[in-house]
Every structure is written in C-alpha cells, then in structure tokens.
Chains A and B, each alone.
Chain A
C-alpha cells in the first residue's frame, strides 16, 4: 500500500486545541479534555496542525496503513 503522510500527536499534548482550529478539514479533535487525537483516514498530512501546535508535539509521519497510530 502507498505510504501517506499523517499527523501524529505526542504524549505531552496539553489539550489546548490550537491544532483543531488550524486543521482545514476537521481531522483532529481533543479527546475528553485529555489530549488531541487524529482521525487518521481523514488526515491529509498537510502539517498545518504541527506548525501551529502550542506545545510542538505533533509530527508528520509516513504510514503504510491507516490504522490508529500509536506513539
């Protein structure tokens, strides 16, 4: 399967939601006030969230399948 770029949120996410507000397609949300989660199939890997992440914990990684990414 072709590799695709996807956003991946690190453990030290502060759940501020700055990324939500920058994602053009609503592919990232904050899960129950604890941390951000990426809707991996939806994410286009554009990197807008990573560029604006307040804590700098989002990386854009290449994935082979669209299962949930664990970091």
Chain B
C-alpha cells in the first residue's frame, strides 16, 4: 500500500466546490484558485506540480479509478498537438466570450442567471446571494461555474470510456501549463 499524502484527499475540494456553488453561485469565484495556481506553478516554478500532485480534479479521477469505466486506452488523436492546442484555443475563446458578456453586464446589460453547460445548455440556477453583489460579480460567477462544470462533465465522460485521467490529455489547463514549461525550458529539452 502506497503512503497517503495530504494532497491525495484534495478530491474533497471538487465536491465542496460544486456543492457550494450549487447553493450559492458566488462560491464559483473560489474556482479562480484552481485557475491561477497551475499557472503560477508553471510561470514561476516552470513545473506542472499542480497537475502532478495538487489538482483536485485529477485526484477525484484517481479516486474513482477504473470503476464504472470501460478503461480503454485513449485514441491517439486525443494526444495529438492539433487536437490539444485546438481544444485549448476553443476553450479560451469561449472563456473570452464569457468574460466579454461579464463586461457587458458591468456596462448595464441584464444579468443572465443561468449556468451554461457544454457551451450550449442553459441551466436555471439558484439566485441565492446574487442581489447582495453588483451584477457583473454575479455574472462572472455564473459564467465561471459553467466553465468549471463543463470541464468536470467532459472529464467524467472521458473517464467513462478511457483511463481514469484521460481528461488530463486534453485538459486546457494541462496543455497550457505544459506549453508554458516548454517555452520556459526551451533550451533545456533533453
């Protein structure tokens, strides 16, 4: 039995995050930590320690392991450069559109109290706490929760077919941080 470390329990963070956000969308802002930390590791440390140890999402996938999964080897296209960077570009574009709408709300557009799943499905969501903040803060929370939920659903769907952490092959965060590390260490590749 391998020794357990504190970060092996980080899957609790995923469960907590999505539960809190289910009842009060403003908790979605906490997800910024999962967005900024991996970038800091990559930009400052030049490493993927976040992916390798501290990512709550992949700890959850490891915890689930091969259960309820066909556990197949992922298809080669998934790890191809064009697919990984293409998906990253698509993901960032959709993220940019979400931020753009947040800006429109900041300048007076109406607040949309929905969470968008898989860039398509608009889910009606709890409005608890929303009236206590300026509308753009709530709009970003709805938008960001949608981004987090979309990636969770994709990750879970991928692991139903393939190995537990197959999502990590095309996870935009993973692609981005690996890309940053490669640029940072461009003279150091073996």
Report how far A34 CA is from B167 CA in the complex, Å: 17
Instruction: Give the complex CA separation of A15 and B175 in angstroms.
Output: 9
- With A and B bound together, what is the CA distance between A27 and B80 in angstroms? 26
Partner pick for A33 among B48, B58, B168, B190, CB 8 A cutoff: B48
Q: Which of A20, A32, A37, A52 sits near B46, CB closer than 8 Å?
A: A32
Chain B residues near A53 (CB-CB < 8 A):
163
B153 interface residue (CB < 8 Å to A)? no
SS of A interface (majority): loop
Taking CB atoms and an 8 Å cut-off, the chain B residues in 47-65 that contact chain A are: 47-49, 51-53, 58, 62
Which residue of the partner chain B has the closest CB to A14?
B169
Q: Do A55 and B182 touch (CB < 8 A)?
A: no
For B, the interface residue count at a CB cutoff of 8 angstroms equals: 39
Query: Quick check: is A5 within 8 A (CB to CB) of the other chain?
Result: no
Compute how far the CA of A33 lies from the CA of B39 in the bound complex, rounded to whole angstroms. Answer: 12
User: Of A12, A14, A34, A54, which is in contact with the most chain B CB atoms at under 10 Å from its CB?
Assistant: A54
> What band does the interface of chain A fall in when counting residues whose beta carbon is under 8 Å from B?
20 to 34
Q: How far is the CA of A54 from the CA of B46 in the complex (A)?
A: 22
Query: Is A12 a contact partner of B79 (Cβ separation < 8 A)?
Result: yes
| Chain B 172-187 near chain A by CB (<8 Å), digits 1 or 0 | 0011011011101100
Q: Name, among A12, A14, A24, the residue most crowded by chain B CB atoms within 10 Å (CB to CB).
A: A14
| B181 and A54 form a contact (CB under 8 A) | no
